[in-house]
């Protein structure tokens, strides 16, 4: 037992200290994983147990103005991240095939304005689920929805902790662009119910999600097959199956919603 405990302690020290990026270690929520994990546990209990119990005997809240403001802020935040990811990296000197994490003032700026900002946005994304529950739309708090939001907080934390820049940050740029489109749709829907009933919008937002995860799947596959790349391959071994899983989940949702249902009409 002592051997197992010692091994676990050494592994924790290795992950949390030895291979952590020095640029980001002292940023809020980045020193250890425990505050973030506690926050996610509270999130799960809130949207699956506490809030549904609170709303059981209450009418749904009218959050139209709150959600519209939230969507507008999300659009601005995602646009900020996309802009800086392009200016400081992908339209500047970053390579699509193999881009190592850099050091220096510009690398710190990229880590802060792109990767850490993205992490904070993924935390804010959890409000999507809270809004569903407060509006008594519990059916939309699906496994796919909760898994995606929970997982993206963990992935974005890992990016900031270990690889705040470089090859893996393509995920940040692509996902933030998709969220600009998605939150624009949500903003329009908050003001005009006709957008909620528009299958055109919903269908193409889902298609964009599938394209996103396919691009990221191929992007991380390129990292594995690229010879002598100085970006660590371990994130690719996690994100390749993760993105493939998301393609399958969103593909199944797309089939059941826009193909199967259409055939049965």
**What is the b/e burial string over 33-47, where b = at least 16 CB atoms within 10 angstroms of the residue's CB?**
beebeeebeebeebb
Query: Measured at the alpha carbon of residue 202, what is the angle toward residues 139 and 68, in degrees to the nearest 5?
Result: 75
For residue 14, give the 3-state DSSP assignment.
helix
Is residue 204 flagged as an active site residue?
no
Length of the chain (residues): 265
For residue 206, give the 3-state DSSP assignment.
helix
Find the catalytic residue in 148, 167, 204, 219: 148
Residue reference for tokens 């994490």: 101
For 239, counting Cβ atoms within 10 Å of its Cβ (0-12 exposed, 13-18 middle, 19+ buried), the class is buried
The token pair at 8 is 């676990």
Considering only CA atoms, which of 239, 254, 240 is closest in space to residue 208? 254
Considering only CA atoms, which of 76, 183, 59 is closest in space to residue 125? 183
The C-alpha atoms of residue 1 and residue 173 are separated, in whole angstroms, by 44
The token pair at 166 is 């470089």
Residues with catalytic annotation? 148
């Amino acid at each position: 037992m002592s051997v197992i405990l010692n091994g676990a302690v050494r592994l924790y020290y290795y992950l949390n200290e030895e291979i952590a990026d020095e640029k980001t270690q002292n940023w809020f929520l980045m020193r250890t994983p425990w505050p973030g994990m506690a926050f996610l546990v509270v999130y799960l209990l809130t949207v699956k147990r506490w809030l549904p119990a609170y709303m059981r005997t209450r009418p749904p809240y009218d959050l139209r103005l709150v959600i519209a403001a939230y969507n507008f802020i999300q659009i601005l935040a995602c646009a900020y991240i996309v802009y800086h990811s392009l200016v400081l990296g992908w339209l500047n000197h970053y390579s699509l095939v193999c881009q190592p994490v850099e050091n220096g003032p510009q690398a710190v700026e990229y880590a802060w304005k792109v990767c850490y900002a993205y992490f904070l946005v993924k935390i804010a994304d959890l409000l999507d689920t809270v809004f569903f529950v407060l509006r008594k739309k519990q059916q939309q708090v699906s496994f796919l929805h909760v898994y995606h939001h929970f997982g993206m907080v963990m992935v974005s934390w890992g990016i900031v902790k270990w690889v705040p820049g470089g090859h893996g940050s393509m995920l940040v740029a692509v996902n933030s662009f998709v969220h600009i489109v998605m939150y624009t749709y949500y903003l329009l829907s908050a003001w005009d119910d006709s957008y909620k009933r528009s299958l055109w919008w919903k269908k193409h937002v889902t298609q964009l999600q599938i394209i996103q995860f396919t691009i990221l799947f191929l992007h991380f596959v390129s990292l594995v097959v690229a010879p002598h790349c100085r970006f660590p391959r371990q994130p690719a071994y996690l994100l390749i199956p993760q993105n493939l899983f998301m393609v399958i989940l969103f593909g199944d949702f797309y089939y059941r919603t826009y193909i199967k249902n259409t055939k049965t009409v």
